[in-house]
Amino acid sequence: MVGGGQLARMTQPAAVALGVRLKVLAASPEESAAQVVNDPVVADEKSLADLRAFAAGCDVLTFDHEHVPPAHLRALEADGVLVRPGSAALLHAQDKGVMRERLTSLGIPCPRWAVVSGPDDVAAFAAGGEVVLKTTRGGYDGKGVWLVSGDTPAEVVAEPFRAGVPVLAEERVDYARELSAVVARSPHGQAVAYPVVESVQRDGICVEVVAPAPGLSSSLAVEAQRLALTVASSLGVVGVLAVELFETTDGRLLVNELAMRPHNSGHWSIDGAVTSQFENHLRAVLDLPLGSPAARAPYTVMVNVLGGDLPEVYPTYRHIMARDPGLKVHWYGKGVRPGRKVGHVTAYGSDLDDLRERTWHAADYIRGDIDE
């Protein structure tokens, strides 16, 4: 797995259980996953020579992020390396412009969009309304996303263009909530669909996921799963595919973006599903039969722990565990910075209000936001 973040870290227990040796290419020995695998390879994911040397010791290459340059992936494939998902599929998760183009040609519902080359284009596209601007490459956790309107200062509208990559403009969707449809697909075409979840974003960062999305009509749930399975097969995705969706106030689904790796909206599955997204990602990239994505309980709630006022999370660790033995805590071994994802907590059962209260209490307490 190229990338040493928390996604690679959470893949390791699944690899252990499956009897698979997980190798990780990390940027530093302190990275989240480098702490938990044997002999992490510390190398530069943007260097083709480093990638080639790493791939030489692997049966199959997969990723915990989208940052490997597409040309390097094509070069590895030309060398004969098994890259899963392949470069042609992964490009749609690396470049939001390519993603919009392809989904639109497949007839998949998207927000109104255009690739824009400067503030004049933005004003023409906006026609007086609100617009979301996104750098087509390199963004994550809301970095690389701007909401602009006619009142936005000119220097802010100019900001997305400074990165030197194409900029995507989208209508600001009036959504009731955000949903995510996670599927896994193997090379010979077997696929499984997890229950469709609701995900709550704050400042562009996922803070809460509820599985399944409360009150979602079964017709919309099936439509979301079908849509994700269609994207997975049309693009030839191998591994986990997360389709981030908007449920509009008038009851339609629009695709926000795609991720081709384990996704924050699937972390609930570690504790809440028969087979976690991490295990199914490994099974898929190794072309093993996939495991059941079924939920173990009527509801599972996952709340991300973001760095807050406290310089580290461990002083609050004992209290959280003592207060709620049913809570599952997941630490990523990362340094605490305000707003940075440093872990998550999960609870499952049938009383949704109780699950939300417990998970939010834990996350807020760890941040230092409450005294009890």
- Give the interface segment with ligand ADP, choosing from 136-144, 292-300, 314-322, 327-335 (CB under 6 A): 136-144
Residue pair 146/132 in contact (Cβ under 8 Å)? The answer is yes
Task: Considering only residues 72 through 91, tell me which ones interact with Mg ion, judged by CB under 5 A.
Answer: none
Position 139 contacts ligand ADP (CB under 6 A): yes
Q: Minimum distance between the CB of residue 137 and ligand ADP, rounded to whole angstroms?
A: 10
Minimum distance between the CB of residue 105 and Mg ion, rounded to whole angstroms? 21
Least CB distance to Mg ion at residue 257 (A): 5
Q: Which residues are annotated as a binding site?
A: 96, 134, 170-173, 178, 256-257
Identified binder of ligand ADP from the candidate list 50, 101, 121, 141, rule CB under 6 A: 141
Show the tokens assigned to 368.
Answer: 């230092």
- In 55-152, which ranges are E strands? 113-116, 131-135, 145-148
Instruction: Count Cα atoms within 13 angstroms, Cβ side, for 336.
Output: 16
Give the rounded distance of the alpha carbon of 311 from its chain centre.
26
Which residues within the stretch 286-315 sit at the binding site for ligand ADP (CB under 6 A)? none
Q: One symbol per residue from 257 to 296: x for binding Mg ion (CB under 5 A), - otherwise; what is it?
A: x---------------------------------------
Residues in the chain: 372
Identity of the residue, 76 or 240, whose beta carbon is nearer to Mg ion in the bound complex: 240
Helix H or strand E segment including 74: helix 70-79
Cα angle at 171 between 169 and 172, to 5 degrees? 115
Query: What pairing do the DSSP bridges indicate for beta strands 253-259 and 239-248?
Result: antiparallel
The residue among 5, 62, 54 whose CA lies nearest residue 33 is 5
Give whichever of 208 and 244 is closer to Mg ion, judged by the CB atom.
Answer: 244
**Near ligand ADP by CB under 6 A: residue from 256, 269, 300, 304:** 256
Quick one: which of 53, 48, 56, 116 has its CA closest to 87?
Answer: 48
Kindly indicate which of the ranges 47-55, 90-98, 154-162, 240-248 contains the residues binding Mg ion, using the contact rule CB under 5 A. 240-248
Within residues 159-178, the interface with ligand ADP by CB under 6 A covers 170, 172-173, 178
- Scanning 9-17, 54-62, 131-139, 274-282 for contacts with ligand ADP by CB under 6 A, the matching segment is 131-139
Going from the C-alpha of 78 to that of each of 24, 56, 64, 155, 289, the distances in angstroms are: 22, 13, 22, 43, 27
| Per-residue binding letters, 49-88, with ligand ADP (x by CB under 6 A) | ----------------------------------------
Task: State in angstroms the smallest separation of the CB of 351 from ligand ADP.
Answer: 27
| Alpha-carbon 163 to chain mean position | 22
